Amino acid sequence: MLEIRKLSRHFGAKAAVDSASFTLERAGFIGVIGRSGAGKSTLLRMINRLTDATTGEVLFHGQNVLTLQGAAKRRWQGQCAMIFQQFNLVPRLDVASNVLHGLLNQRSTLTAMFSLWSDADIGRALAILDRLGIADQAAKRAEALSGGQQQRVAIARALMQDPQIILADEPIASLDPMNAQVVMDALRRIHEEDGRMVIANLHTLDTARRYCDRVIGMRDGRIVFDGTPAQLTTGVARDIYGADASFSEATTSTALPADRAYAEAMLS
Ligand SMILES: Nc1ncnc2c1ncn2[C@@H]1O[C@H](COP(=O)(O)OP(=O)(O)O)[C@@H](O)[C@H]1O
Ligand SMILES: [Mg+2]
């Protein structure tokens, strides 16, 4: 259903993503792993059209979504909702309104400006918040919530678009382990219950192994692994994360998340 063909993005002389190709036949739960700078975010942002590709195609049910313009492009962006590491909520706005903002792709900006949400829209927003276990937070300002709660609001906003695909860019990188699990469990449940495809950039191998049924490994803009979690051996992990990461550096608490993942790979 989603086919990435020789997709590249250059920034100056550097290829952030370098001729990436893969095909997702069904709506799976896919993890994209790799060190910081490997090209994971650029890949997701090109699929969602937040970043333009230099060359290549993104085919959804056979149509190249990279050529869509105007309303058709916005419709596509509604079909592949994004979730970000920093949640990207409107901090001073209440939770329910943040969720309703998920409808912005489908409604005119004027409607949104004057907050002309229908009772049905508001009811749906509250039902989605309830599903994520945070309906009691609906009237609070987003900024008053914990990180884990804010990310669930962001997921609720994404669900408001009724997307076929959820693109999550490091959704748990800013969360403590307990909240990380709550958020990943929520994404997994949405995938299983609704049949939505999830593509998540993840920095730890552990999370990719636990939640994903397919893992794509990136290194220097290239796809260097594409397989099941079971195929993700220590040797493969070394390939993805690079043997140049020094072990002592990777195990210190100040190490980059990707380097910690490398350390985990070495220890497992
Ligand atoms: N807007 C940009 N301008 C210049 N270089 C960029 C830009 N965005 C990303 N890059 C570069 O592209 C590479 C891949 O970045 P990114 O996709 O953010 O990787 P990741 O998400 O895996 O950390 C990095 O070298 C990064 O510095
Ligand atoms: Mg990134």
pLDDT in tens, 146-187: 999 999 999 999 999 999 999 999 999 999 999 999 999 999
Q: Which of 208, 149, 209, 210 is nearest to 176 (CA)?
A: 149
Q: Spell out which residues have Cβ within 5 A of ligand 2, the ion.
A: 40-41
User: Which atom of ligand 1 is found nearest the CA of 221?
Assistant: 14
With b meaning 16 or more CB within 10 Å and e meaning fewer, what string describes 87-116? bebeeeebbbbbbbbbbbbeeeeeeeeeee
By most ligand atoms within 8 Å of CB, the mutation choice from 9, 41, 44, 259 for ligand 1 is: 41
Catalogue all structural domains in the chain, each as residue range(s) with its CATH number: 2-267 (3.40.50.300)
Q: How far apart are CA 165 and CA 77, in angstroms?
A: 10
Q: How far apart are CA 45 and CA 258, in angstroms?
A: 19
By most ligand atoms within 8 Å of CB, the mutation choice from 9, 42, 43 for ligand 1 is: 42
Where does residue 200 rank: exposed (0-12), middle (13-18), buried (19+ CB within 10 A)? buried
pLDDT in tens, 203-247: 888 899 999 999 999 999 999 999 999 999 888 999 898 865 433
Contact 220, 42 (CB under 8 A): no
Residue 152 CB–ligand 1 contact under 6 Å: no
Percent of the chain clearing pLDDT 70 (strictly above): 86
Q: Which pTM does this prediction carry?
A: 0.89
Q: How far apart are CA 174 and CA 151, in angstroms?
A: 10
Which residues, in sequence order, are bridge partners of residue 168?
83, 200
Minimum-distance ligand to the CA of 40? Answer: 1
Strands (E), the chain: 2-11, 14-24, 29-33, 55-60, 63-64, 80-83, 165-169, 197-201, 214-219, 222-227
One-letter amino acid of 265: A
Average pLDDT score over residue span 88-102:
94
Give me the pLDDT at residue 116, please.
75
